Structure 1
Amino acid sequence: MKNFKAGLFGLGVVGSGVYTALQQNQKYGISIEKIAVKNIDKERDFDLPTGILTAQSDEILENEDIDFIIELINDPEEAFTIVKKAFEKGKSVVSANKKMVALHHQELLELREKYGVKFFYEGAVCGSVPILRLLDQHYKSDKIKSVKAIANGTCNFILSKMTAENQDYDSALKEAQDLGFAELDPYSDVSGEDTRFKLAIMVYHAFGIFVHPQEIPLEGIDYLDETLVQFAQKHQLKIKLIGEACNIGGKINAKVEPQLVNEKQDFYNIENEYNGILVNAEFTAEQFVKGKGAGSFPTALAVLSNLKDLIYDLAIAKYSIKPNITYSTEIEREIYFIGGFETELSGLEILAKDETYCLAKSDFKELEKLKQKHPNLYWVKISQDIYEIIKNQEVLI
């Protein structure tokens, strides 16, 4: 088998995992010729060959001996510049940068077609779970009705600690940071933004349309408090941050929000840094996959898998947009647990209330307007089935 030469951008958590795996396993037939980093003099936990590091991206991009690029940096705009130039130089790319892909998805695929290169980014969505591969290949002859996902290991870890171990949000977040599951600045994770990037990518692979992340309504977990945790524990429920996209009559609805789930649901047993994806399709009905979504080697595994796709010249689906499918910002009213408010809420269809929370029918637009008046307000979706069980368990005011 031919030996391939690659240029690596980024030597952080994932980049280190990819480099280490390639060094330890010769079966890939890939040698890293150069690694572009911001700080060449930074101390690292492993030895590197002399001269392999560079601070100049063109040392890689202009090198005709390098066969392809592995892009694993954090900055989405810098990453886009690197990938675009790599395409222009005729180099295929493997990336794990979900923000870059989500923000520039359509343009990236158009550039891929224009320059006749390949572009794989399985590592951008759900770590070790090959969901993009499944959507592209397994479901290509089926009609997908919905995709629902726990797609952020940091949030899931925090929520697991809050409900299972009675930790408050701050201590659960600190533990996630200490274990390397959360960044020092956790905003993208806990706000739900990270899940939204991944959901936007999945929408194209599931339904064949592009949705900009900003079009997807968003509610994170950073406002959740002990009132919700106590309510969930009382009714044997768990709190999960779920991104979902549904095809309703050719119109795609998508959103990211916390939800309460019970033991009958697949998401109930997805704990800590694990991710889980539920796909509902016309012929195959519901299928559920799970796997680690955070950490060095789970994401590195997805990158390595894509590298083998390049080596074996795996065919990829042509860029296309499906006709007769559109994105809709109209979202149906649903049942929500609402907390974090101090005064009476108006304009909602109240189903039940207590001193510190209420159950009500609403939609995102109504709740977002209320949050402008009540900055600490938060909401968590409750399915109709769970609401019926709660009604039968206690007398609701």
Structure 2
Amino acid sequence: MKKLKAGLIGFGVVGTGVFQALKKYEDYGVEITRIAVKNIDKNRTIEFSKELLTQNVNEIVEDSEIDLIIELINDPEEAFEIVTQAFQNGKSVVSANKKMVALYLEELFNISKKNNVKFFYEAAVCGSIPIIRTIDQHFQSDKIKSIETIANGTCNFILSKMVDDGQSYDNSLNKAQELGFAESDPYSDVSGEDTRFKLSIMIYHAFGQYIHPENIPMQGITSLDNNIIEYAKKHQLKIKLIGEALLANNKIEAKIEPKLISKKHDFYNIENEYNGVIINSEFSGEQFLKGKGAGSYPTTLAVLSNLKDIRYNLASTRFKNNERFGKSNSLTDKVYFVSGSKEIENSEGFDILEEFSNHKIVKTNFQILNKLKLKDEKFYWAEINKELYDDFTKVESLL
């Protein structure tokens, strides 16, 4: 079988990993013949011919001898222009750009279909976990009822250090940056935005419904302090930033928020840069997937798997759209640990279950909490499973 010629857009950590893998393992049947970079003169630690480099992306996208594009840059708007141009020139694309995919998903699918090319992006969601492939293929004949995910290795690393090692948020973030798990500007990770992009993509594949990331409410981890750390340690709990989408009354409820979980939860032992996904479906029940969600090799693996899809002319991304669900406007009441605001006493929609000097346990919903967050930046919350909280109160009543 003839080797496919590929153009590589972006030559950072993942780009160099893909380049080295394809050079070492020829059985992938893909050869990178051109690489677009911002700075040709940048020092790079791997061996390659500088003749491969160009600063002009059009030299790759317009090259009739190049069969496919591997897009690995950060800018979503620039990536969108490159990918759509590649489609229009009859080139299939493999991308790792979760922000571009989440923001322009339906448009990208329409353009790729119109031009009869393939579009894969397994590397955009949860690193080495083949979650898109699993949803599209394994669950194609099942009905997914809910998805839970730890989809951001940076947040998970920081929370692990805060709870397990007793480190402050700032120290944990600095350590994550030193190890390369967090960017110099960590906003997208710690705010929950990165998880929101990935959840939006998973929702599209699981339910056939596109929900723009901006329409998924989120609460990050920047305000967490010792109050919740002490509560977690007291009850032997972990804190995890979890993205969740579920079907309720034929509508999709989706949100990103910290949750307090016990040893019974599959996510309890997901630490540091690892990611996890739990899919609950009608026939299969719960399925749990775990894997590294950050770093060169996990993301490289996801890119390579999609290159083989194109190499062997496998079906492009599939998703269910035979059912259309509404988007929920009011999220269900849950039990929450809340701290950082005294306005709760004067606010409607809060059922205070327990009150302490530094925090409260309340029954309310995400929307009400989010409105209070807009008034007070120091206010934060974490969901507690109701059955778990009921167990706490039963035990404490016996003491």
Q: TM-score, normalised by structure 2?
A: 0.97
Residue type of the partner of 2:376? H
Q: Please, which runs of 5 or more residues in structure 2 have no aligned partner? A: none
> Does residue 1:252 correspond to 2:252, yes or no?
yes
- Aligned residue in 2 for 1:364: 366
After TM superposition, give the deviation of residue 47 of structure 1 in Å.
Answer: 2.4
Q: Is the 8 A contact 1:349 1:361 kept in 2?
A: yes
Structure 2: how far apart are the matches of 1:379 and 1:18? 40
Cα offsets for 1:263-316 (capped at 9, x unmatched): 011010111110010000000000101000011110110000000000000013
Structure 2: how far apart are the matches of 1:22 and 1:124? 19
> Does residue 1:280 correspond to 2:280, yes or no?
yes
Q: Is the 8 A contact 2:206 2:319 kept in 1?
A: no
Structure 1 residues 302-341: aligned runs within 5 Å:
302-316=302-316, 321-341=321-341
- Aligned residue in 1 for 2:184: 184
- Aligned residue in 2 for 1:349: 351
After TM superposition, give the deviation of residue 44 of structure 1 in Å.
Answer: 1.1
Q: Secondary structure at the match of 1:129?
A: coil
Q: Is the 8 A contact 2:208 2:319 kept in 1?
A: no
Residue type of the partner of 1:230? E
Q: Secondary structure at the match of 2:16?
A: helix
> Does residue 1:233 correspond to 2:238, yes or no?
no
> Does residue 1:144 correspond to 2:144, yes or no?
yes
- 230-239 or 386-395, larger mean C-alpha shift: 386-395
The 1:343/1:144 distance shift into structure 2, 3 A limit, reads closer
Q: Secondary structure at the match of 1:167?
A: coil
Structure 1: how far apart are the matches of 2:18 and 2:236? 40
After TM superposition, give the deviation of residue 190 of structure 1 in Å.
Answer: 0.4
Q: Secondary structure at the match of 2:294?
A: coil
- Aligned residue in 1 for 2:29: 29
Structure 2: how far apart are the matches of 1:322 and 1:266? 31
Q: Name which of 384, 387, 393 aligns with 1:385.
A: 387
After TM superposition, give the deviation of residue 320 of structure 1 in Å.
Answer: 6.2
Q: Which aligned runs of 4 or more in structure 1 are off by greater than 4 angstroms?
A: 317-320
- Aligned residue in 2 for 1:153: 153
Residue type of the partner of 2:47? D
Cα offsets for 1:337-358 (capped at 9, x unmatched): 0012256543221111111110
Cα offsets for 1:140-186 (capped at 9, x unmatched): 00000001000001111111111111111111111111111111111
Q: Please, which runs of 5 or more residues in structure 1 have no aligned partner? A: none
**Percent of aligned positions that are identical:** 56
Residue type of the partner of 1:359? I
CA RMSD of aligned residues (A): 1.4
Q: Secondary structure at the match of 1:44?
A: coil
Q: Name which of 370, 391, 396 aligns with 1:394.
A: 396
> Does residue 1:50 correspond to 2:50, yes or no?
yes
Q: Secondary structure at the match of 2:148?
A: strand
Structure 2: how far apart are the matches of 1:158 and 1:171? 9
Q: Secondary structure at the match of 2:267?
A: helix
Residue type of the partner of 1:367? L
Structure 1: how far apart are the matches of 2:242 and 2:319? 28
Q: Is the 8 A contact 1:209 1:322 kept in 2?
A: no
- Aligned residue in 2 for 1:194: 194
Structure 2: how far apart are the matches of 1:364 and 1:279? 22
- 245-254 or 156-165, larger mean C-alpha shift: 245-254
Q: Secondary structure at the match of 1:356?
A: coil
Q: Secondary structure at the match of 2:6?
A: strand
